[in-house]
Amino acid sequence: MNFDAHCEITRKIFGSDFFSVHRWLDGEFDQSPDDSPFNHWLPHHHLEAIRDRFTSGSDEFRSACLHVVCDWIWHCDEWHLPENREEVASLLRDYGVRVVE
DSSP string, the chain: --HHHHHHHHHHHHSS--HHHHHHHHTT----TTS-TTTTHHHHSSHHHHHHHS-TTSHHHHHHHHHHHHHHHHHHSS----SSHHHHHHHHHHTT-----
Answer whether residue 38 is part of any domain: yes
Asked if pLDDT for residue 22 goes beyond 90, the answer is yes
99, part of any domain: no
Residue 41 forms part of a structural domain: yes
Residue 47 resides in a domain: yes
Structural domain span for residue 27: 3-94
In tens, the pLDDT along 57-99 reads 999 999 999 999 999 999 999 999 999 999 999 999 999 988 8
Q: For residue 28, is pLDDT > 80?
A: no
When the pLDDT of each residue in the chain is averaged and rounded to a whole number, the result is 91
- Span 32-67, pLDDT tens digits: 555 677 888 999 999 999 999 999 999 999 999 999
pLDDT of residue 98: 86
pLDDT at 32: 53
| Statement: residue 14 has pLDDT above 90 | yes
Q: How many domains does the chain have?
A: 1
Q: Which residues contact 15 (CB under 8 A, 6 or more apart)?
A: none
The answer as to whether 100 is a domain residue is no
Is residue 82, in this structure, part of any structural domain at all?
Answer: yes
Residue 101 counted as domain residue: no
- pLDDT value at position 30? 57
Global confidence as pTM: 0.89
**86 falls within a domain:** yes
pLDDT of residue 46: 97
